[in-house]
Structure 1
């Protein structure tokens, strides 16, 4: 049965009404407050590793048919929560909805991933870029409102967007890339054009996340998936500066409650201090980062999220339990940790491995608290 449609709070005259949270451990961890255990959720927790997701996607007919239909988006967002006692839900959508709304013609070809019909590669295309009318993304905000309603206060809902740099990578390359040749050529030859793209993206992302917050998202996440392909110095100039611009434009409180924001840069461990100083509430770290060292570096400035290697989930129950415990022990006792993978879950992951992981995180972190 499909969830019941709820009118979006994107309409200014409509407000989301929802019962109080039954489980706020995730939000308390982001605020670096004491929690009875370490909360856990997984990047891409609603996805192809779940057979029920694949069944829903087949009914939708395509990825975009799934992502642009609030009923389907709600259904797949809730699917992992029906299986696992996760501590947060994350909106099912895609980071490329924003450039799609700019008119770049997003398509997901079978077996090829996302592709834009109109990549942004010359002065005319860059000059034509503008922050899209948020009404073109109404389906996202409708989904947020509907998911928040259907959650009925079980756990918080996370909204998200790609970072300005990561969106620009897809917009200039026209698809995924192995070497980022086109966008890096623009960066070195015509940095003025790239700065223009990034400025438009930053303002669009801020408006997009704010609309999600108004529709009911209780936390936000910025995925800087490709920040790690930049050289030191260029990361700060072309990625982090525009993530900071987004953060400066965000609603950090809504309906009388704080709205925490997580920034995740894959491959960004060397810039942990810079990211922590960007104005975010938490920094997501990939599996190459040692959590004990990361915690020492950031002190009490921000919470940390991460960072189990996703491939650990193929190692069997004993391995999963051991690696979950090791990750928790590396962070150590005390507040400010949200357990997650160091990147998105693989589509080939056995669902039973996720069940083991969630149980292991909850059990071991509870023992940590009792021992402390």
Structure 2
């Protein structure tokens, strides 16, 4: 790892070392709240942006250049693994991701391919292109979707509010659910190791829909697979962040998978949760993203209150409890980043 990157605030915090202030990056930091993003998006489809390394690097670099954050996250999507496995993926404006061939039967599951890492080479190329542009300025985070979250999109055929088809599958045919999850897990291990080889400095596993699960179902259908993924990574000096909406509840289980960092939603008291975790696991989070609809002084006050509560903690990365919303004011996000960079413990 580049010496600058190794000594960066982000990597030090992710390794539970002391930092003079919390490092800052934000989920969806290179997204639709930026006019510059739309300049690119209006010329290309979302999947074209993901699959063209130069474009993916262009979008990844936007918050680096415009917000001056402490870590970049590769521009991609959690569903590229599902597409590589055989999902017919499209993105509809205002609707989101769609799979025209949902996975509902044993035959559908058997058709999912697992030897697909070569189909994801464009992501490795995007990592290399982005790292050449970053040139050691700040770390680059790669990522993948967690198996349960990816399964839910494959089974539902897209986004869902009630997870009806997913839960029906889990409860009525758990063997089939586990077959699909096992296949996604294998692909995810290969995919993340490919990103490590390509040069990412950290990885985040996104279990965006974990909060749809009960404790027992999370343990059976999510946690065991995330544990398997983390155990299968060539993670020397590459911190692994585990994120789940539901982390305020599931953090004790998440810790058992031995990530370096747990990213926490905004429902928990972050200091209390951190103090409950085993030593050596850092935390990331957990500002309520919707605070960005408030006035600037309210945003700053809320961030500093969070920071004051984390004073004396080794291993804290600032982030939102989830992602930046498309209608957030860029000006307020930039103001927040600047306020964070002024703070000292």
TM superposition score category, shorter chain reference: over 0.9
8 A contact 2:15–2:280 mirrored in 1 = no
Question: Is 1:220 aligned with 2:203?
Answer: yes
Deviations 1:269-305 (A, max 9, x none): 1221111121100000001111121111114230000
Match of 2:91 among 108, 133, 147: 108
Length-normalised TM-score, structure 2: 0.97
CA shift at 1:333, angstroms? Answer: 2.0
8 A contact 1:18–1:149 mirrored in 2 = no
Match of 1:30 among 7, 14, 22: 14
CA shift at 1:359, angstroms? Answer: 1.7
8 A contact 1:32–1:335 mirrored in 2 = yes
Give the structure 2 partner of residue 341 of structure 1.
320
Of 292-301 and 166-175, deviating more is 292-301
8 A contact 2:244–2:264 mirrored in 1 = yes
d(CA) in 2 for partners of 1:184, 1:332: 41
d(CA) in 1 for partners of 2:167, 2:6: 47
Question: Is 1:53 aligned with 2:37?
Answer: yes
Give the structure 1 partner of residue 155 of structure 2.
172
Deviations 1:202-249 (A, max 9, x none): 111111011011101010000001111101111011000000111111
Flag structure 2 segments of 5+ consecutive residues without an equivalent.
none
Question: Is 1:290 aligned with 2:269?
Answer: yes
The CA RMSD over aligned residues, in Å, is: 1.3
Give the structure 1 partner of residue 216 of structure 2.
233
CA shift at 1:168, angstroms? Answer: 0.3
Length-normalised TM-score, structure 1: 0.90
Number of residues of Structure 1 aligned to a counterpart in Structure 2? 345
Question: Is 1:265 aligned with 2:244?
Answer: yes
Flag structure 1 segments of 5+ consecutive residues without an equivalent.
1-16
d(CA) in 1 for partners of 2:7, 2:334: 19
Of 109-118 and 336-345, deviating more is 109-118
Give the structure 2 partner of residue 184 of structure 1.
167
Give the structure 1 partner of residue 142 of structure 2.
159
CA shift at 1:22, angstroms? Answer: 8.3
d(CA) in 1 for partners of 2:90, 2:149: 17
CA shift at 1:193, angstroms? Answer: 0.1
d(CA) in 1 for partners of 2:312, 2:98: 44
Match of 1:73 among 11, 36, 56: 56
8 A contact 1:38–1:338 mirrored in 2 = yes
Secondary structure, counterpart of 2:25 in structure 1 = coil
d(CA) in 2 for partners of 1:79, 1:279: 32
CA shift at 1:335, angstroms? Answer: 1.5
